[in-house]
Chain A
């Protein structure tokens, strides 16, 4: 078997919570990512889904070493990068990139889009074969932007076009792995479909691997080969896409799937829906045992005392004492 491009083992990222006042003390930790493990193969897309605050972005950023991991290991192309310094990471940065959710704030409004895309080359002191301008214009063309708009500013572009600029910037250094953090969440459906199709094509053309973060499960289904469902910093279920959607084993996966409305009035009105009660607990004091036990309709005493270990059910990995 070939080495996976990314191997994440028991990764945790805690953010200390400081008390207010002159003598600030650490009051506790926000356990944003609390021991997650998965692998990603070359050319594969792994979807990472879950509700707001469950730790998706923190996971993505920690994997790229934009945050210092609290514990666990990250291997990129077999190389353990967990404790690499910024300077040791620099050469690897060409291979690992990120695309952000907000196409408005992630682009500097005072720079032309040509210079925004070209900045990647400058930072790495790389000169592309036919010169920077040519390379940038090729990229613009590839992501569906008019290369003649090289000297325009971000505000002259629509949301979908700005997201394309962000994608072109991420592609400039020919990366192998891209963390896509909610790349289409801010876009309207008609534009969202354009960007998803583009990301799909680019993956196939350049042999890219994506960690595709989203809270919209229907979008994730489209682009991912496998999907990991997160809740309160932990992975609840990780399975091949078809399997996850057809045979969800974890109660949370079931609830999440059932909460998504179907755009068909006949089906939508006759389907059974699981309505979860309550809210997501505070990640500073997650529930003991299974973190989902405060909202789970199947919870038993054991769920409140013992954390479930991940078990294999067919092709799915499930963290639950009483899976379906």
Chain B
């Protein structure tokens, strides 16, 4: 079942220097229970995509267009078309979000128990004691030792990894069908990252929820994702099943990314292969392919096509699409 279908989402931020084209006409979908990873470099539009869907961008400063059809507990809704006040009914209930920095969602002055109970009460007309039981249950599930007594603790009394667990507990308290995790482990040490990723995997199975995992770490993606969208300069440039993507990356940017990661499982060669240059300014995107100024395969395309025309995201094999003139299927 398709849980969420995003069509032609664009987000622009008008600034004195011009419009920042943060997200440009992206379309994707996610099935119930599936994990979709969104990878890409800093500034490629990963966070803005999801903030837009959650109604968390200020409509006075952001120009948003597109649709995001979501199957909620009340039936189908358009996350981008619905009234922002109405959207609150679904946020924290059908869809939850966790961020890189747990302190951005945890209030420093309230105990973690009170915060989780509140998150439950907002969406459930039940006795506070029921919510308290639920909070204790969730804290236990995310691996907080002795949750019944820890619910009176405050966020600062936990380590970074524990706070991340608390935030996950709070996000899951209403059994969401979609969890958006924006760099949930980027600020953590690798040993703690391993704990949190394995926890998320267990919880996803248990709660049967879909996860949009935003990250720039290709190792994390390899272990966690079912499907992957690669973003570059505000566009999806490749979308595939995780195994296909790593085995047969079709877009030169994806190939370059995979080649430039230093890997522990391979004998180390002296030079890493790097992608030259840097991503384009989101205010003045190049006319043709956004990756053209850095692309090592541009000479494989006849004429100066890459510099003049933006390639479309086209299907290569089953459910594997890429945005590049190389390898396009005839007639596609």
Contact = CB atoms under 8 A, between A and B. Distances in A.
Interface of B: 41-42, 159, 161-162, 189-195, 197-198, 216-223, 225, 242-243, 246, 256-258, 260-265, 268, 270-276, 278
B257 A189 contact: yes
B264 A218 contact: yes
A261 B257 contact: no
B217 A259 contact: no
8 contacts: A189-B260, A196-B262, A216-B262, A241-B268, A259-B191, A262-B223, A266-B243, A269-B222
Interface stretch (A19-27, A104-112, A115-123, A271-279): A271-279
A260 B262 CA distance: 11
Contact of A259 (B161, B194, B265, B275): B194
Chain A interface size band reads 35 or more
Nearest to B192: A279
A216 B218 CA distance: 14
A259 B193 contact: yes
A190 B274 contact: yes
A160 interface: yes
A35 B134 CA distance: 47
B222 A263 contact: yes
A174 interface: no
B220 A218 contact: no
B162 A263 contact: no
A188 B262 contact: no
Given A51-B190, A190-B274, 9 more contacts: A188-B41, A189-B41, A196-B262, A197-B274, A256-B191, A263-B258, A265-B225, A276-B191, A276-B194
B250 to A, nearest CB: 16
A261 B265 CA distance: 10
Contacts of B274: 190-191, 193-194, 197
A235 to B, nearest CB: 17
Contact of A218 (B159, B192, B262, B273): B262
B112 to A, nearest CB: 16
Contact of B261 (A200, A256, A263, A277): A263
Interface string A30-65: 000000000000000000000110000000000000
A190 B275 contact: yes
A263 B272 contact: no
A268 B223 contact: yes
B257 A197 contact: no
Contacts of B42: 159, 188
Contacts of B261: 189, 218, 263
A8 interface: no
Interface string A207-225: 0000000011111011000
Nearest to A267: B265
B278 A261 contact: no
A276 B195 contact: yes
Contact of B265 (A193, A264, A273): A264
A215 B42 CA distance: 20
A160 B276 CA distance: 11
A93 B142 CA distance: 50
Contact of B268 (A52, A197, A222): A222
Contact of A265 (B216, B242, B265, B270): B242
Contact of B263 (A200, A263, A266, A277): A263
A129 B190 CA distance: 47
- Which of the listed residues A191, A196, A245, A261 has the most CB atoms from chain B within 10 Å of its own CB? A261
B270 A263 contact: no
Instruction: Give 6 nearest A-B pairs by CB, closest first.
Output: A261-B219, A193-B274, A190-B275, A51-B189, A193-B272, A193-B260
B265 A262 contact: yes
A52 B186 CA distance: 12
Contacts of A189: 41, 216, 218, 257, 260-261
A279 B272 contact: no
A69 to B, nearest CB: 26
Contact of A221 (B159, B258, B262): B262
Contacts of B220: 261
Given A193-B272, A193-B273, A197-B274, A279 B258 contact: no
A255 B242 CA distance: 26
Contacts of A268: 219, 222-223
Interface string A143-174: 00000000000000011110000000000000
B194 A161 contact: no
Contacts of A245: 264
A257 interface: yes
